[in-house]
Amino acid sequence: MLRGKITEQLNVWGIVLTIGILLVLSIFIDIDTMKEFVLKAGVWAPLLFIVLKASTVIIAPLSGGPLYPIVGLLFGFWPGILFVVAGDFLGYSGAFLISRIFGYPVVGKIIAGNERSMLAKIVKHVGTTKGFIHMCFTCFALPELISYGAGLSKLPYWKFISILMPLSVIASSILVFFGSSLGAADHPLILTLLIPLFGGAVMLLGGWLFIQGVRKKDPIEEEA
């Protein structure tokens, strides 16, 4: 059960950290000033965000979680979703292609040491459609490992990206909406907090129920 416990802790702490960062930004930083600065940057601001978001997937130790609500805060919901989707698509595709072309020798240098054992477990299960969907739910907080793992498996690229991107967009929308709500004066703080908390709870519950259903039909090896 070690893998499940580690992943669950990462999911919960990722949500808590993101909410904390956004609250600090909304309370202590002038949001209008930040938006004005982004506006003056023109096309370079979204391009920089897209490259930064992609790099958080390709460079595995980086965490891209806080970027989702921040882009909503600075750009608004719909532009934010567009930039997130572009960054994630480039990041997922880049990680997949790096591992597919160069294999373990290069991926082992990118992935942090304590994540290599988890990557090996992911590779064992992502070679099939069912296994990949399973890992998307159980390791949704680690998209870099999912992408590198899929590239090291026999899973076709088109299947990898067509399954991962819709799930990623659903999860991203919750945090981007959270960020855009913090920048809107007509959204009460309690509503702004409840939306990501409810969304995160639904995702965790849905993932848990899915895992239970899969285990009943197709048990997976557990590490002590």
Banded pLDDT at 95 (limits 50, 70, 90): very high
pLDDT at position 22 over 70: no
pLDDT value at residue 214: 45
pTM beyond 0.85: no
Cβ contacts of residue 177 below 8 Å, gap of 6+?
72, 77, 195, 196
Reported as a single tens digit per residue, the pLDDT across 70-90 is: 888 888 889 999 999 999 999
Average pLDDT, the chain: 74
| Closest listed residue to residue 31, CA positions, set 191, 187, 199, 195 | 187
More confident residue, 59 or 138: 59
Query: Between these two residues, 44 and 185, which has the higher pLDDT value?
Result: 44
Instruction: Reply yes or no on whether the pLDDT at 41 is more than 90.
Output: no
Compute the average pLDDT of residues 18-29: 60
pLDDT of the residue at 220? 41
- What digits encode the pLDDT tens for the residues 175-186? 788 777 766 554
Considering only residues 2 and 122, tell me which one the structure prediction assigns the higher pLDDT: 122
Taking residues 20-28, what's their average pLDDT?
Answer: 61
Q: Does 37 or 188 have the greater pLDDT score? A: 37
